[in-house]
Amino acid sequence: MNWTPTSWHSKKIRQVPDYTDKQFLQKAEDRLASYPPLVFAGEARDLKNKLAQVCRGESFLLQGGDCAESFAEHSGDNIRDFFRVFMQMAAILTFGTCSPIVKIGRIAGQFAKPRSSDTEIIDGIELPSYRGDIINSIEFDKEAREPNAEAMIKVYRQSAATLNLIRAFAKGGYADLRLTHNWTLDYLNNSKVIDKYHEIANAINDILDFMQACGVYSDNTKALKETDFYTSHEALLLNYEQALVRIDSTTNEWYATSAHFLWIGDRTRDPDEAHVEFCRGIKNPLGVKCGPSLSVDSLLTLCDILNPDNEEGRLTLICRFGSDEVNKHLPNLIEGIKKEGRNVVWCCDPMHGNTIKASNGYKTRDLKTIFAEVQKFIDIHNQHDTHPGGVHFEMTGKDVTECIGGGISCVSEENLSDRYHTHCDPRLNASQALELAFMITDKIKQRSKKNNITT
Ligand code: PEP
Ligand code: CO
């Protein structure tokens, strides 16, 4: 199939920096290429198998994390708080839907950002746009905005440290279901969403007591004390991705080892261009962001290129149309995919089609429209008898005020400036993320009820 890790160089490419010092870039790439892989191909295959279950409607995908990770926000507390909220969401969904949850973080590599404009103008001064810490720095000065290849090395090291802690949490006892109560964050102690969460945690504890009486407990049952947690990011900076592809010695096939799952962004998914060329050759499970400009024909071409064997679990379509547009676009894509018998995971990203500018200039998202898009996504799948496989969202464990709304810790436009810390898009805070998990659970429960009655 004429693919090599470098074949993308012969294609048109968008959204990449122009490194002025090519020799310095080459040196950084060579160093990265000599470093150990961050993930192991066998783990990526396990994830593909789990996504195949999602594809068949047997489980549900939860994917989320920062819009952009940053060097400034790298700390153990941040990783722990993110992990806690994520595990709480997963507990709510597992308990409420009685379905296994596949957990994928936007973490340990999510550093490169596509931008709507190549430059940014402030007070009449024009500089290159910030493209994520792996490329340049957010400060508005000329030197900071120069692409710096050394940042790729820093990202690799930060990702390794992040992944190390996540693996420790997932496998070292912190994910034990007996600890469901302990995952809550102190600053949420007085909120109603936490009362609701503790009800579930109590119920889980009762079940665990019962199982213990029957002889099933953490010490003799791995599934009760460990979880599988996978990493993902947008495969945008191909210099970084290329340096981290490796041939898997057990299968002799190429894998990206920067993360278990990579996705192609809405702005770089042209079938004839570099990002699709790079991704088609690696065996990891892949995602493609699907926005309003994606035609059925183009989607089917992408399926041909990225999933020629029509493998279940290989391809996840991450739909991000916006709550006003989802009814217009999603049914056509579903029909096209169904007619051609393509195996895909349908996932809803209710964040990127719902970004707005508040009257005070902040880039934000309203929880109402986020919820509305997820609800419409599930309704449309119900109408087409297809599986609403999962959700993809931007969130943090920190008590930020970046998205507005939320019945509990309601953030208003006026509050946005209180704790607006994101390096790129506005994220859900912990309370908003939990509300989202409860809403999805209710919606999926209704769907199951309906299916039981009709079948
Ligand atoms: C993102 O996921 O942060 C992003 C930029 O998404 P999209 O490609 O859907 O715009
Ligand atoms: Co984003």
What digits encode the pLDDT tens for the residues 418-446? 999 998 999 999 999 999 999 999 999 88
- Please tell me the distance between residue 290's alpha carbon and the centre of ligand 1 in angstroms: 10
- Please tell me the distance between residue 20's alpha carbon and the centre of ligand 2 in angstroms: 27
Q: Which residues contact 2 (CB under 8 A, 6 or more apart)?
A: none
Residue 353 CA: which ligand is closest? 1
Residue 213 has pLDDT above 90, yes or no: yes
Residue 98 CB coordination number (10 Å): 10
Residues in the chain: 455
DSSP state for residue 366 in the 8-state scheme: B
Q: Which ligand 1 atom sits nearest the alpha carbon of residue 67?
A: 3
Pairing of strands 245-247, 229-234: unpaired
Q: Which ligand 1 atom sits nearest the alpha carbon of residue 318?
A: 9
Residue 390 has pLDDT above 80, yes or no: yes
278 within 8 A of 254, measured Cβ to Cβ: no
Report the percent of the chain where pLDDT is more than 70.
Answer: 98
Query: What pLDDT does 407 receive?
Result: 65
pLDDT confidence band for 449 (50 / 70 / 90): confident
Q: Which ligand 1 atom sits nearest the alpha carbon of residue 291?
A: 9
**AA identity, residue 76:** G
Between CA 54 and CA 102 the distance in angstroms is: 8
Closest residue by Cα to residue 392 from 283, 265, 306: 265
Q: What is the Cβ-side half-sphere exposure of residue 23, based on CA atoms within 13 angstroms?
A: 0
Q: With the CA atoms of 411, 412, 417 and 420 taken in that order, what torsion angle do they form, in degrees rounded to the nearest 10?
A: 40
- Please tell me the distance between residue 283's alpha carbon and the centre of ligand 1 in angstroms: 22
- Nearest protein CA to atom 2 of ligand 1, as residue: 67
349 within 8 A of 323, measured Cβ to Cβ: no
Between CA 1 and CA 7 the distance in angstroms is: 11
Query: What six digits make up the tokens of 151?
Result: 């940042």
Residue 291 CA: which ligand is closest? 1
CA angle 438-355-107, nearest 5°?
Answer: 65
The pLDDT tens digits for 33-71 are: 999 999 999 999 999 999 999 999 999 999 999 999 999
List phi, psi (to 5°) of 368: -60, -45
- Please tell me the distance between residue 198's alpha carbon and the centre of ligand 2 in angstroms: 31
The pLDDT tens digits for 249-270 are: 999 999 999 999 999 999 999 9
Residue 341, phi-psi category: left (phi > 0), alpha (psi -120 to 50), beta (remainder):
left
The β-bridge partners of 290 are 319
64 within 8 A of 395, measured Cβ to Cβ: yes
Surrounding ion ligand 2 within 5 Å at CB are 67, 425
List phi, psi (to 5°) of 317: -95, 110
Residue 82 has pLDDT above 80, yes or no: yes
Between CA 398 and CA 187 the distance in angstroms is: 9
Between CA 274 and CA 271 the distance in angstroms is: 8
The angle that helices 367-384 and 430-454 make with each other, rounded to 10 degrees, is 20
**Residues near ligand 1 with C-beta < 6 Å?**
67, 114, 234, 265-267, 289, 320, 352, 425
Query: What pLDDT does 408 receive?
Result: 64
Residue 280 has pLDDT above 90, yes or no: yes
- Nearest protein CA to atom 4 of ligand 1, as residue: 265
Task: Say how far residue 388 (Cα) sits from the centre of its chain.
Answer: 16
58 within 8 A of 387, measured Cβ to Cβ: no
- Please tell me the distance between residue 16's alpha carbon and the centre of ligand 1 in angstroms: 15
Q: Which pTM does this prediction carry?
A: 0.97
Query: What pLDDT does 454 receive?
Result: 44
Task: Say how far residue 280 (Cα) sits from the centre of its chain.
Answer: 19
- Please tell me the distance between residue 340's alpha carbon and the centre of ligand 2 in angstroms: 31
Query: What pLDDT does 187 receive?
Result: 78
Residue 235 CA: which ligand is closest? 1
**AA identity, residue 317:** L
List phi, psi (to 5°) of 302: -60, -40
The angle that helices 326-339 and 296-306 make with each other, rounded to 10 degrees, is 50
Between CA 11 and CA 30 the distance in angstroms is: 22
- Please tell me the distance between residue 67's alpha carbon and the centre of ligand 2 in angstroms: 4
Q: With the CA atoms of 158, 290, 346 and 447 taken in that order, what torsion angle do they form, in degrees rounded to the nearest 10?
A: 110
pLDDT confidence band for 109 (50 / 70 / 90): very high
Between CA 441 and CA 433 the distance in angstroms is: 12
Between CA 439 and CA 115 the distance in angstroms is: 31
- Nearest protein CA to atom 3 of ligand 1, as residue: 67
Between CA 10 and CA 56 the distance in angstroms is: 37
Residue 267 CA: which ligand is closest? 1
Pairing of strands 245-247, 254-256: antiparallel
Q: Which ligand 1 atom sits nearest the alpha carbon of residue 425?
A: 3
pLDDT confidence band for 242 (50 / 70 / 90): very high
Quote the strand ranges of 301-401, DSSP E: 315-319, 345-348, 355-357, 363-365, 388-394
The pLDDT tens digits for 308-334 are: 999 999 999 999 999 999 999 999 999
Query: What six digits make up the tokens of 366?
Result: 């309203």
Between CA 358 and CA 412 the distance in angstroms is: 10
- Please tell me the distance between residue 14's alpha carbon and the centre of ligand 1 in angstroms: 14
Residue 114 has pLDDT above 60, yes or no: yes
Report the percent of the chain where pLDDT is more than 90.
Answer: 91
